[in-house]
Amino acid sequence: MENITVAVIRSSAPEYKEVWQLREDVLRKPLGMSLVNEDLSMDAEDDIYIAISDGKVIGCLMLHSISNTVMKFRQMAVSADWQGKGVGRKLMTKAEEDIKAKGYTTIMLHARQIVADFYLALDYDITSSAFTEVGIPHVIMKKILQ
């Protein structure tokens, strides 16, 4: 893989503007939606993992603490040019290592059904029936950290 680094930022960091735009382009515009109309106050509480190549944010993953043992992954997005090249896996691996080191034991997420196989390949289990979120089918997935 090309020179890609993973960093952790907060919503106050200058890179957050790129994260916002990436989420808008990858996660909302295809659904005819916009982050402009959403409450993003939770972003200030999240650790935001970013993948950077040549000084540009090419992937992101938001982490939100649910309890002392459960971390929720949310809003993962990878730039269209970088999808299928291991960027998502790299973000997930780094985030998992970090949260395990902090004492969390479980990761949960709401996965769009069309990408559930990605998470299954990373040892996540589907723990719910399909449900609709932002107008598309999702499932809840979990992973117990070993």
Residue 141 lies in a domain: no
Pairing state between β 5-9 and 47-53: antiparallel
Given this model, what pLDDT does residue 46 score? 96
Residue 131 lies in a domain: no
Q: What is the CATH number of the domain that holds 43?
A: 3.40.630.30
Q: Tell me how many domains the chain contains.
A: 1
pTM listed for this prediction? 0.94
Residue 117 lies in a domain: no
Given this model, what pLDDT does residue 2 score? 66
Consecutive sets of 10 residues in the chain, 146 residues long: mean pLDDT of each? 88 96 94 87 95 97 96 96 95 96 97 96 97 95 94
Domain that holds residue 31: 5-104
Query: Look-up: residue for tokens 């993992």?
Result: 49
Residue 57 lies in a domain: yes
Residue 38 lies in a domain: yes
DSSP H helices, 48-106, are: 87-101
Residue 18 lies in a domain: yes
Given this model, what pLDDT does residue 132 score? 96
